[in-house]
Structure 1
Amino acid sequence: MTSGRQYPLGGRAAWTVYAAAVSIYVLAVFHRSSLGVAGLLATQRFHIAATQLSVFTMVQLLVYAAMQIPVGALLDRFGPKRLLLSGVTFMTVAQLGFAFIDSFPAGILARVFVGMGDAMVFIPLLRVVSLWFPPVRIPVVTQLTGLLGQVGALMAASPLVYALHRWGWTPSFASAAATGVVLGLLVLVVVRDSPNPDHELDQIKVRALARALRAAWRTPGTRLGLWSHFSAQFGATVFALLWGYPFLVAGEGLSPSTAGTLLMLMTITTVVTSPLIGGFVTKYPFSRSTLILGIVCAIVTVWTVVLLWPGRAPLPMLVVLVTVTAVGGPGSLVGFDLARTFNPPTRLGSATGIVNVGGFLASLSTVTLIGLILDRLAPGGPSTYTVGTFKVAMSAQYLVWALGLVQILRYRHKARRALRESDPDAYAALRAGRSIVP
């Protein structure tokens, strides 16, 4: 056992704490994804049009994105356990309310609290990973985290669809909410903030939070992480959370079961590619931004083929679409590894919060743009959607991709130059394929 540390890094205690914490993330992804497969039913239950449906997701993502930096600062102040408990409490109460309400304003309020709870989960979980595991294993465990989170998306894509059609809205969402009570108790009993929590947290408490936020923001590596997350994540998020299912069913003419299978394929793709990306990041830390650029360009290419296809695209092409788009999910987690590389542990929460704003800000913007375009082209609602209207609406993604790619190229140059000038040895270590710790 390491001197001054109560538990060894990466040992049995670390995996026990991690398992309890990641279970909350699985639940958060389920709650986040639930509206994606329930979108068409939601338009009937709440008597709303496409723009109002997009407002549900828009509000949820807006709250999530707006809370990332405050949550990062709170994490540096209070530690991950308290935030995980707060997050699961907010989500449980919100989903229980969502199960029983049928008015649009009340539904918006419920999604606000889902977004608040969701915002308090992922960043604290990454703090658990960074404190409980040795640096060389952090990229792989981070990818494992994203992989396990997809279990929640898988549960939303299949069991929730089945439950909604068999038992209806209220029993399905109420049962999902009840799971939060069990997992919250698990976190309360099992999770510890770090292998030596009192020491770690006392160091963080004396930091001025505003100063930590400013320092994290001024670090080029933090902004490189932000734009990497921004560019890679939003395509998969928008598709899985809201517009993918309607695009496949109302636009491409697939049956609901086939569309659900394709959403499950996105999850399977994430499971397969997460360890591959984690291994790449561990072996080639200097080329992380190059990996992100390659993933984003591949997503842009396959979407271009589908959108330019005359009429509806064939099923094999749609399989390629969802598969390539899904790779953006685990790819976006590389942004957090970039933030970890360029920031000391005392401001890692703040830096991670800044990075996490990126993907969800992009998702929020894209969800809103697609909803506005659909309402403009098909004011009659979901029954009047066509493949043509969806092709125009989905083209809004190109604006977001273009901005993200330009910023990645800009800030990777700044990050590399700053590291080379401030710490030549660390720069040389990265180029040689070795992990560095600030």
Structure 2
Amino acid sequence: MTTHIHARMRRLRWTSYTLVVLGYMLAFFHRMAPAAIAGDLQQSFQASGAALGALAAAYFYTYTVMQIPIGVMADTMGVRKIVAIGALVAGLGSLLFGLADTLAAASMGRVLVGLGVSAMFISLMKLNSVWFHDRHFGTVGGMSILLGNLGSVLAAAPLVWAVTHTSWRNVFVAVGLFSLLLGVLVWFLVHSHPGEAGLPTMRELEGKEAHPRHHGHWYDGLLKVMKNRATWPGFWPNLGIGGSLFAFAGLWAIPYLRDVHGMERAVAANHTTLLLFSFAVGAMLSGMLSDRLGKRMPVILGGIALYVLCWLPIVFAWHLPPGLSYPLFAMMGLSASGFTLTWASVKEVNPPALSGMATSVINTGSFLGAAVLQPLVGWAMDQGWDGKLLAGARVYSEQNYQIGLGIMLAFAVVGLFGALAIRETHCRYTTVSGHK
């Protein structure tokens, strides 16, 4: 009987995990895709830098607003329903974006995409917390980010390749159809937690008591998370580190490399592919290292500090040969992954039953940061733009980028200082008896 339970547990766990991870990959793809097609979007909609930033940021505004509601729904409704509905909404948004003939319609498509995929990350973290052992959360979380980031890798060089063979519109229509199919599969095959399939919890399999449930209204749980002072320090590295990384890789990196360093779009896309792939690998390595050390803070602070330093050659436009520019982007991605451990840290300073809400509260920082930075950087560069155009797209000077990207560096520094106040949890729940 025990062997049968374990076999069924593994089958349902990995089926649920795989489908939700695919949704998370879609979230990363849509998040980063505007960078690879920035020039195409400017040509299609005759958009300024600020307008292009606003189009890309429409995803992030919606994503930011939805994080806490998604956290509440993950803890109450369950992962299956919100991921299935999210995939369907994102699919419709991608179809609208690909077929849009005006900037307003494209922006509405981005809003729907952001609304749909906003369900994916929090749901995946919630799924991890109930389908895997507590002691493996950092490692599994890192693996999840690694897999999810494959979506952002697809949104760089592979997307550039696809656009040269078809069009950006056809790509997003195809992605929309895939998203609709995924929503149907999630509805029928995903289980929100083992109990939904009549199975014991992971702790009960080890002869331990299950984590206590939250008793009371969801609103009380959310207030408990938000009143917990240990919750909030993780918001700042999400805002400064996550926000600057997503804004740069998701929109401004390729135009910067083209305008300042004279790179072809394919070469610039290779740099962002390496940046995002390194971030993905770094997230997994950070989780594994943290779980091995039994500490969160050394990995968080070490990574964030190195990430801030990586911004200096970019902001000051050091003209590095490819032998150094590729390692710089790789190091930037690896080091940025340190902030991803804040999701494990905030989970561990709040009750297990409220893990979805806790993660969602600080995760708003990443998308608020990107939502503010993408149009803000474009607006700042528009102020000094000399009117130069290339194939209908604006070309900015080195000085323009120093001003715009300098704002991103400032956000990263804020993230570093904010991280200093995060509580060390030693990779255990500090709110559960016997885990202190």
- Superposition TM-score, scaled by structure 2 size: 0.88
1:270 maps to which residue? 279
| Shift, 1:256, TM fit | 0.9
Q: Provide the rounded CA distance (Å) in 2 between the counterparts of 1:424 and 1:15.
A: 30
1:435 maps to which residue? none
Q: Which amino acid aligns with 1:389?
A: N
Consecutive unaligned residues of structure 1, counting only runs of 5 or more, are 428-438
The superposition leaves residues 355-402 of structure 1 with CA deviations (integer Å, 9 ceiling, x where unpaired) of 211111222222232111111111626443122211221000232123
1:38 maps to which residue? 37
Q: 1:326 aligns with which of 317, 329, 333?
A: 333
The superposition leaves residues 30-56 of structure 1 with CA deviations (integer Å, 9 ceiling, x where unpaired) of 122222211111011011100000001
Q: 1:386 aligns with which of 367, 388, 397?
A: 397
The superposition leaves residues 102-152 of structure 1 with CA deviations (integer Å, 9 ceiling, x where unpaired) of 211111111111111121111011111110011112211111110001211
Q: Which amino acid aligns with 2:122?
A: I
- Shift of the 166–138 alpha-carbon distance from structure 1 to 2, 3 Å rule, reads same
Q: Provide the rounded CA distance (Å) in 2 between the counterparts of 1:426 and 1:205.
A: 18
2:311 corresponds to 1:303: yes
- Shift of the 231–281 alpha-carbon distance from structure 1 to 2, 3 Å rule, reads farther
Q: Provide the rounded CA distance (Å) in 2 between the counterparts of 1:208 and 1:423.
A: 20
- Shift of the 267–361 alpha-carbon distance from structure 1 to 2, 3 Å rule, reads same
1:412 maps to which residue? 423
| Shift, 1:169, TM fit | 2.9
2:405 corresponds to 1:398: no
2:245 corresponds to 1:236: yes
SS state at 2:414 partner = helix
1:433 maps to which residue? none
Conservation of the 8 A alpha-carbon contact between 1:251 and 1:388? no
Conservation of the 8 A alpha-carbon contact between 2:86 and 2:119? yes
Q: Provide the rounded CA distance (Å) in 2 between the counterparts of 1:101 and 1:309.
A: 36
2:368 corresponds to 1:369: no
| Shift, 1:198, TM fit | 7.9
Larger % of helix: which?
Answer: 1
Q: Provide the rounded CA distance (Å) in 2 between the counterparts of 1:187 and 1:340.
A: 25
Conservation of the 8 A alpha-carbon contact between 2:260 and 2:317? no
Q: Provide the rounded CA distance (Å) in 1 between the counterparts of 2:308 and 2:336.
A: 14
The superposition leaves residues 290-328 of structure 1 with CA deviations (integer Å, 9 ceiling, x where unpaired) of 322221211221221333355x34333422332122125
Equivalent positions of 1:6-25 (< 5 A) are 11-25=10-24
1:293 maps to which residue? 301
- Shift of the 59–338 alpha-carbon distance from structure 1 to 2, 3 Å rule, reads same
Q: Provide the rounded CA distance (Å) in 1 between the counterparts of 2:147 and 2:273.
A: 14
SS state at 2:421 partner = helix
2:257 corresponds to 1:248: yes
Q: Which amino acid aligns with 1:401?
A: A
Conservation of the 8 A alpha-carbon contact between 2:317 and 2:398? no
The superposition leaves residues 203-238 of structure 1 with CA deviations (integer Å, 9 ceiling, x where unpaired) of 868531221111111223322332333343223211
1:432 maps to which residue? none
| Shift, 1:25, TM fit | 0.9
The superposition leaves residues 398-429 of structure 1 with CA deviations (integer Å, 9 ceiling, x where unpaired) of 3212322222223438x89xx98x889744xx
The root-mean-square deviation of aligned C-alpha atoms, in Å, is 2.7
1:350 maps to which residue? 357
2:342 maps to which residue? 335
Q: Provide the rounded CA distance (Å) in 2 between the counterparts of 1:9 and 1:301.
A: 47
Q: Which amino acid aligns with 1:237?
A: F
Q: Which amino acid aligns with 1:128?
A: L
Q: Which amino acid aligns with 1:104?
A: L
Q: Which amino acid aligns with 2:334?
A: V
| Shift, 1:243, TM fit | 0.7
SS state at 1:395 partner = helix
Equivalent positions of 1:39-438 (< 5 A) are 39-197=38-196, 207-286=216-295, 288-309=296-317, 312-328=319-335, 330-378=337-385, 380=387, 382-412=393-423, 426-427=435-436
| Shift, 1:79, TM fit | 0.4
SS state at 1:220 partner = coil
Conservation of the 8 A alpha-carbon contact between 2:97 and 2:109? yes
Conservation of the 8 A alpha-carbon contact between 1:101 and 1:107? yes
SS state at 2:262 partner = coil
The superposition leaves residues 136-194 of structure 1 with CA deviations (integer Å, 9 ceiling, x where unpaired) of 12211111110001211121113321222221233221111111122222212221010
Conservation of the 8 A alpha-carbon contact between 1:7 and 1:196? no
Conservation of the 8 A alpha-carbon contact between 1:234 and 1:363? yes
- Superposition TM-score, scaled by structure 1 size: 0.88
Conservation of the 8 A alpha-carbon contact between 1:306 and 1:313? no
2:206 maps to which residue? none
1:434 maps to which residue? none
Q: Provide the rounded CA distance (Å) in 1 between the counterparts of 2:74 and 2:213.
A: 9
| Shift, 1:336, TM fit | 1.1
SS state at 2:155 partner = helix
SS state at 1:385 partner = coil
- Shift of the 145–87 alpha-carbon distance from structure 1 to 2, 3 Å rule, reads same
Deviating more after overlay: 58-67 vs 230-239: 230-239
Q: Provide the rounded CA distance (Å) in 1 between the counterparts of 2:309 and 2:11.
A: 44
